[in-house]
Each structure stands twice: as C-alpha cells, then as structure tokens.
Amino acid sequence: MVTYVLDASALVAYFLDRPGAVKVEELLKTASRRRSNIFMSAVNLGEAYGFILRTEGVEQARAMASTLPPLPIIFIEATVQRCCHAAEIKNAYKLYYADAFAAALALENKATLVTSDSDFRRLGHNFPILWLKPTS
C-alpha cells in the first residue's frame, strides 16, 4: 500500500484551494477507499493551523480544524523519539524544525512527502516527494 505524509503546505493548499488542492483531494479520496495511507505530524498540523490563523483569521482556522475528523488523515504525535529524529534531520539537511517532522515521518513510514515547500529540495533526489506545484 502506498503511504503519503502531508506537510503543512499540503493541508493549507487543500483548505484554501491553492495550487495543489486537487492533488491533495485525489490523495484523500484514494485513502478513503483504503488504497493508501495518509499520515501527518501533529506538529505540521499546528503549523498549518497557525498559518491559516495568521493569514485568514481565527474563524477560518477553527473551521479548518473542525473539518479534520472525517478526513482519512492519521495524525501522529510528536514523541520524544520523533522530536530527536526531527532535530537530527533539521541539522543534517538545514530544514526548519517543523519541516523536519514531516521529513522524519516520511522516512519512518517509507512514505512519499506531499508538499509545495521548495525547502524540501535539500533532501535530495532520492527522497520521494510529490510536489504540489513546480519548484524553481
């Protein structure tokens, strides 16, 4: 079974109907049919919530949070082990700490990372990434 990990940018694209929203919607439909798994770190969920809160306001952020439960996304907690692994990835690839959680979760689950954040190019060509928009 194919496994995906959503970065904050994927969730933001989906909820704000930005470039890549259709791809995320297709992934969610596939996961609803139990043909794939979709994981997301709770840290990246917080990052997406914070972005929507800052750019769209508290009502939009709360609306996003209230629509999450029926979606086929498995939210993964930030355990001590995951925090340390994310810190190691942050150090090795010069990523932001929140981004490192998405990368660590993808590595942990041998998953494809779903993102529009070009900073993930630092992970190299061997790291499976589904880009939501072209990177420069």
What confidence score (pLDDT) does residue 55 get? 97
Phi-psi region for residue 135, left (φ > 0), alpha (ψ -120 to 50) or beta? beta
Rounded Cα distance between 86 and 102, Å, is: 8
Which amino acid, 63? A
Per-residue pLDDT tens over the stretch 34-61 = 999 999 999 999 999 999 999 999 999 9
* CA nearest neighbour of 60 among 22, 10, 15, 24: 15
Per-residue pLDDT tens over the stretch 52-103 = 999 999 999 999 999 999 999 999 999 999 999 999 999 999 999 999 999 9
Can you identify the CATH homologous superfamily of domain 2-131? Answer: 5'-nuclease (3.40.50.1010)
Domain ranges of the chain: 2-131
Per-residue pLDDT tens over the stretch 101-128 = 999 999 999 999 999 999 999 999 889 9
Rounded Cα distance between 47 and 93, Å, is: 19
